[in-house]
Amino acid sequence: MNKNSTRQVVIDRIYRLNGKEFQQLCWDILIKVFTDLQTPRPVHDLGSDGYTVKSSIFFACYAPESHEYDASETTDKINGDYKKFVDNWKTNGNFKKWVFLTKGNLIGAPHQKIVELNNNGDGVTKENWGVDQIVNMVMGLDIQLIKELFNLEDANGVQQTFVNQGIVNSGNVHIDKQVGTLNEYNQYSGAEQDENNAIEEVFNYVISQLPKTSPLSPTDEKRIEIREKIKLNFTDQKDQGEVERYFNDAFTRTKLVESKLQALDSQTQKDIELYISRKYSEFKRNSQSSMEILDKLFDFFTPDKRKTNPAYAVTVMAFVLLFFEDCTIFEKK
């Protein structure tokens, strides 16, 4: 497996972990990079998810059980964890940097909270390390360490991966392997193609049903709800107006997309939801604004052969906006 392929498997594995599993993985990675890392006790951690005296860095990890970060809850978590750090660690530890570790790169209110804390003049640099920084740390390690961290094994030149479950401590991985293995790397492109086929089936259904469907408009309550979420994610008023117009113009198609998705089997629904969530997170890491992310999603889900088809373009727009509306992607209150 080449470096790019290994990186993608690492990213995919990180995105699957939430809560304590993500926290444990962070400890295991950090102790390979910072060999003097002190991990917290199981109880009464006082806001510590590990620290290194040599590098003067204090860590706090956060990955909610849901895949998406709620803006308000994440901001509260930043406030709470930093207060614990100040009350219990800052003075005695002489730390120069406080790092908030997350799977995603924070935007919106949580990002602003990090900026705000950096302006409090207490001599500590506050940073958010998202998946980019975490993966960069991993990829800077020896390949054998990466294999150990993520339980990757080569068999006959084919990447084999195990489903991991267990406890991490003292920098050593202790993993109970479930019965069976997953040829994750080889399955990756095939699964993605299956998801694309299912999504294209949704698009074709919407276009076929549109002539038979009376135009629909959102209720006043729905307009207010959508408008609030747009304001939360798009700071520029021109962008806000543009996205709101997208919603209104594509609303009939959005309802048809929703109807078709509900008719799919539950596993396919979950696969599509995870797929668009992963693409959103990927684009968020490499975009400067929410509008840029939205444009990238529109472009990505439009097949090359349909790029010049207006009906298809609006249907793709409706598909993406449905997941915006139900809070699968972008920030929510």
pLDDT digits (tens, 9 = 90+) for 36-91: 988 775 444 577 888 999 999 999 998 876 656 778 889 999 999 999 999 888 88
CB 261 within 8 A of CB 202: yes
pLDDT of amino acid 271: 83
d(CA 39, CA 27): 7
Q: What is the mean pLDDT of residues 236-259?
A: 93
158 pLDDT higher than 50? no
Q: Is the pLDDT of residue 208 over 70?
A: yes
Strands 51-52 and 166-169, sheet pairing: unpaired
138 and 194, same domain (yes or no) = no
Which of 182, 217, 247 is a domain's end point? 182
**What SS3 state is found at 204?**
helix
How many residues in the chain?
333
Give the total number of structural domains in the chain: 2
| Domain identity same for 138 and 256 | no
- What mean pLDDT value characterizes the chain? 81
| pLDDT > 60? residue 156 | no
Q: Say whether both 150 and 272 belong to one domain.
A: no
Q: Work out the percent of the chain whose per-residue pLDDT is above 70.
A: 83
Q: Please determine, for residue 25, whether its predicted confidence score (pLDDT) is greater than 50.
A: yes
Whether residue 34 is found in the same domain as residue 130 = yes
282 and 135 together in one domain: no
Dist CA 133 CA 114 (whole Å): 16
Q: How many CA atoms lie within 13 A of 263 on its CB side?
A: 12
Beta carbons of 77 and 117 less than 8 angstroms apart: no
- Domain check: are 11 and 102 in the same one? yes
pLDDT higher than 80, residue 258: yes
289 within 8 A of 216, measured Cβ to Cβ: no
The pTM of this model reads 0.50
User: Mean pLDDT throughout 272-276?
Assistant: 88
| pLDDT of 132 higher than 60 | yes
Helix (H, G, I), strand (E, B) or coil at 175: strand
Question: Is 200 in the same domain as 177?
Answer: no
Residue 330 included in any domain = no
3-state secondary structure of 157: coil
pLDDT at 94: 85
pLDDT at 248: 93
Which tokens is 109 given? 């209110």
Residues 6+ apart with CB under 8 A from 11: 131, 135, 282
Question: What pLDDT score was predicted for residue 193?
Answer: 55
Average pLDDT score over residue span 254-280: 86
Lowest mean pLDDT among 84-98, 230-244, 260-274, 305-319: 260-274
Position with higher pLDDT, 152 vs 128: 128
pLDDT confidence of residue 188: 40
Q: Does a structural domain hold residue 131?
A: yes
Look at residue 66 in the predicted model and tell me its pLDDT: 61
Based on the fold, state whether residues 45 and 133 are members of the same structural domain. Answer: yes
What is the band of 19 on the pLDDT scale with cuts at 50, 70, 90?
A: confident
Domain that holds residue 254: 188-325
Same domain membership, residue 73 and residue 203: no
52: left (phi over 0), alpha (psi -120 to 50) or beta: beta
Q: What is the pLDDT of residue 319?
A: 95
Domain termination site, one of 155, 182, 209:
182
- DSSP calls for 81-127: HHHHHIIIIIHHHT-SEEEEE-SSPP-HHHHHHHHHHHTS-SS-EEE
The phi and psi torsions of 49 (rounded to 5 degrees) equal -115, 25
Does one domain contain both 82 and 209? no
Amino acid at 67: H
